[in-house]
Amino acid sequence: MNWVLADELIRRALIEDLGYGDVTTELTPNRHREVTARFLLKEDGVLCGSQVAARCFSLLDAAVRSSFTVEEGHEAEAGTVVGEVTGPAHAVLSGERVALNFLQRMSGIASLARRLARRAGPNESCVVETRKTTPGFRLFEKYAVRTGSGYNHRMGLDHAVMLKDNHFALAGGDPAELVRAVRDRVSHTMRVIAEAGDPGMVEPLAAAGADVIVLDNFTPEQVRAAVQQIAGRALIELSGGINEDNLDDYLIKGVEAISIGALTHSYRALDISLEF
């Protein structure tokens, strides 16, 4: 976790919620009293974002102390007290919602990633997310996928070359020629990923030297044929319409990565509460 960036994003979230100040807490008696509040897991899941939640409080008041009895990335059952926060009541109350927003969402993603990774693991396939992330929340969503045993795709557009249908349409001509041209210009440290939108593109992209070939919206039968055709010349990634319901259909030997946008755009936050 890049904590320089993380702290900046957490501060933005706190500013968004606090505005000019927590008027309710400021009008409540005993707001400076030291209190202890517990994080209670209300459903089974993977804990993720504990240190992010802790920062939500300590950035408001350095006197706040947070501790977690369930380790990051570990599974716990409903009813488990996973941690607690102790400090001035005004800081605990003012940071509560933002801390839970991070903790619930990150734990929800990690829980989903764990379920999918557990199913894909025996096939030696990696479950990865995409760039379909919540604006401003990418750092935390991708961290949560890793915590849940999934893997990261590109962090951003500067992470790898990825030629998709619109790039091929813009360039015109033979997609394989674009792959060759890009390979001649790109740094040796950067992979060239090329997306095959139909089975007819598989062989030309493999012959052109793409490091990774993405089979986009292929049927399981088309995937099996493409695996035989590529024959180890490139890493194979699947994308397009794969989710928790149909994942098993795509657990095909020879597929190294399965990208699932739902990991970061359709997850459900885990139910966690903070109780005095």
Active-site amino acid positions: 97, 132, 164, 195, 216
C-alpha span between 60 and 91 (Å, rounded) = 6
Do the Cβ atoms of 88 and 63 come closer than 8 Å? Answer: yes
Helix 138-147 with 89-120: angle, nearest 10 deg: 50
Longest pairwise C-alpha distance within the chain: 73
Q: Which long-range contacts (CB under 8 A, 24 or more apart) does 114-117 make?
A: 114/46, 114/75, 114/148, 114/149, 114/150, 115/244, 116/150, 116/244, 116/247, 116/260, 116/263, 117/148, 117/149, 117/150
In DSSP terms, 258 is beta-bridged to 127, 238
C-alpha span between 10 and 145 (Å, rounded) = 19
C-alpha span between 125 and 256 (Å, rounded) = 5
- 118: closest CA among 148, 139, 89, 144? 148
